[in-house]
Amino acid sequence: MTTALLYESIIDAHLKSQLLDKALIFFNEMVDKGLVYRPNIFNSLLGSLVRSNCFEKAWMVFNELKERGKFDVYSFGIMIKGCCENGNLDKSFQLLGLLQDMGLSPNVVIYTTLIDGCCKNGDIERARLLFEKMGEMGLVANQYTFTVLINGLFKKGLKKDGFDLFEKMKSNGLFPNLYTYNCLINEYCSEGKICRAFDLFDEMRERGVEANVVTYNTLIGGMCREERVWEAEKLVDQMKKAAVSPNSITYNTLIGGFCDAGNLDKASNLLEHLKSNGLSPSLVTYNILIEGYSKAGNWKGVADLAREMEGRGISPSKVTCTVLIDAYVRLQDMEKAFQVYSSMEKFGLVPDVYVYGVLIHGLCMKGNMKESSKLFRSMGEMHVEPSDVIYNTMIHGYCKEDNSYRALRLLREMDAKGLVPNVASYSSIIGVLCKDGKWQESEVLLDKMIELQLKPSASILNMISKAKNFTELKI
């Protein structure tokens, strides 16, 4: 065995053992010694680096050896794919130019990779031009080429163009593959054309194309969106008969469908089915259920799910925390609500304006304006701007304790920020002012309401009239 072949064997062994850095060391050593390597070992090294998310290392090796010209079309194909996967389309087109400068001809795989990259980057026109260029070069597009462009057209909302291209594909004598069928079924389901989707589902099976879990999940999702959840569930049995195992996405989709239909018992049963089938509920699963229970006003159920989630060691998302805080506030358990709020920082989550709004509402309802005010002022420190809803909540809270001074101060703050108080806020402040006999200030607010095109209610006008009459009688 020659020295070059020995090095190649060592490099190949390290690549198979996923010891990429060592393989790279031996390859560089081989190059430094002036040994001639074969393209297949070089391509194996590049491919392994790209697949292992070490694109920068692959790019460095490729660039260093660029001048020596020891590349073939496959080397370029690997690097173009790497560029596209890393979202660097410009680099991939530079490589296409270099490939042609070296007298090599791009193949169907390279063009398909570039078309797919353009589609994923939202550059559908460039993808179309590449597709046309292929034809001009005498390259015949395959099933995958057609499918990636069809999918790109659908994602851009160019549905007619996508279906027209599908017809062209068939007229070219190409039969759809699994990826093509999944792409078309997904489009029909997104449009709510379930019957069309099932026609394709039947067609693919007649052609001997076996549906996979993605196919079934797409159909189940389409049926759930159409509120045909019981029919969707039957597809799971069909999946199992076809030796396709339902996955977490299957169960999450069904759980979401039953939650939307208001059937929480069935959604909970599906959670148990998920577990009994050897799958683990994910953050997504719990978020779907928590949101479902929240919409139904079942706050105890929300709290129970949170405990189960915590017991499984699943860290919540911002959505989870927000729904949980809302649930505890509605259960009037402000201590638990603030525990969740405090835990957000631990999980690296930043509370948004809605989280603050829910907590402030809970504190105001409890009459705890001191803590409510502290939280309200802390929003500025967190660079979160209070919304009109939060201001109105605070105003209402201060009015409940007859504190017109603080309520008016917030009203002026709103005005300075260009926020418009609602009728309820004006009504509450006017009520407190009238109670204190300050009908003149009430009339100023009434004029402001009219200026803002807010229609004063009869009760507001009555309050001011009574306060005015009472003051006059005293005089």
Beta strands in 263-313 (DSSP E): none
Distance from C-alpha of 395 to C-alpha of 389, rounded to nearest angstrom: 10
Q: How many structural domains comprise the chain?
A: 1
Chain position carrying tokens 């370029």: 76
Q: Examine residue 236 and state whether it is found in any structural domain, yes or no.
A: yes
Torsion (CA) 371, 375, 378, 382 in degrees, nearest 10: 150
Question: Could you tell me the two tokens for 256?
Answer: 């979401």
Please give the sequence-ordered ranges of beta strands (E in DSSP) within 304-446, or none if there are none. none
Nearest of 294, 224, 210 to residue 256 by alpha carbon: 224
- 199: containing domain: 175-280
Give the separation between CA 243 and CA 238, rounded to whole angstroms. 9
CATH of the domain at 240: 1.25.40.10
| Selection from 233, 217, 142, 228 nearest residue 185 by Cα | 217
Domain assignment of residue 235, yes or no: yes
Q: Calculate what percentage of the chain has a pLDDT beyond 90.
A: 47
9-33 pLDDT tens trace? 888 898 888 888 888 888 888 888 8
Residue 329 has pLDDT above 80, yes or no: yes
Burial degree of 248 (CB within 10 A; 0-12, 13-18, 19+): middle
Residue 262 falls inside a structural domain: yes
Amino acid at 276: S
Is the predicted pLDDT of residue 471 greater than 70, yes or no? no
The gap from C-alpha 433 to its chain's centroid, in whole angstroms, comes to: 48
- 363 part of a folded domain: no
- The predicted model gives 119-148 an average pLDDT of 92
Asked if residue 241 is part of any domain, the answer here is yes
Asked whether residue 42 is assigned to any structural domain, the reply reads: no
Arithmetic mean of pLDDT, 45-52: 89
- Which DSSP string do the residues of 158-173 spell out, in sequence order? -HHHHHHHHHHHHHTT
Structure-token match 């577990």, residue found: 275
User: Given CA atoms 182, 184, 187, 189 in this order, what sign does their dihedral have?
Assistant: negative
**CA angle, 114 as apex, 108 and 115 as ends, to 5°?**
85
**What CA–CA distances, in Å, run from 318 to 291, 315, 335, 358?**
12, 10, 19, 14
Please report whether residue 252 resides in a domain: yes
Assign 474 a pLDDT band (cuts: 50, 70, 90): low
| Residue 285 CB burial class (10 angstroms; 0-12, 13-18, ≥19) | buried
Please, what is the Cα angle at 131 between 125 and 137, to 5 degrees? 135
Q: What is the spatial distance between Cα 272 and Cα 171, in angstroms, rounded to a whole number?
A: 48
Burial status of residue 79 (CB atoms within 10 A of its CB: 0-12, 13-18, 19 or more)? buried
Percent of the chain with pLDDT over 70: 98
Instruction: Write the DSSP symbol of residue 314.
Output: P
Helices (H), 226-263: 229-241, 248-260
Name the band, by pLDDT with cuts 50, 70 and 90, for residue 69.
Answer: low
Confidence category of residue 149, pLDDT binned at 50, 70, 90: very high
Looking at residue 472, its pLDDT comes to 53
Mean pLDDT to the nearest integer, 301-319: 88
* Closest alpha carbon to 359 in 416, 297, 417, 344: 344
Report pLDDT digits (tens) over 429-466: 888 888 887 878 888 888 888 888 888 888 878 887 77
Whether 316 is covered by a domain: the verdict is no
Q: What is the pLDDT of residue 470?
A: 63
The pLDDT value given to residue 460: 79
Answer whether 436's CB lies under 8 Å from 404's CB.
yes
The amino acid at 174: L
- Long-range contacts, stretch 228-237, CB < 8 angstroms, 24+ apart: 228/194, 229/254, 229/257, 229/258, 229/261, 229/263, 229/266, 232/257
Q: What angle do CA 452, 458, 460 make, to 5 degrees?
A: 65
pLDDT (average), residues 267-285: 92
pLDDT digits (tens, 9 = 90+) for 176-203: 999 999 999 999 999 999 999 999 999 9
Neighbouring residues of 176: CB distance < 8 A, sequence distance ≥ 6: 143, 147, 166, 169, 170, 184, 204, 207, 209
pTM of the model: 0.74
Q: Which two tokens stand for residue 86?
A: 């890393």
Q: What value, to the nearest 5°, has the Cα angle with vertex 145 and ends 143 and 150?
A: 90
Cα–chain center distance at 113: 25
DSSP string computed for 105-144? ---HHHHHHHHHHHHHTT-HHHHHHHHHHHHHTTPPP-HH
Name the average pLDDT for the chain.
Answer: 89
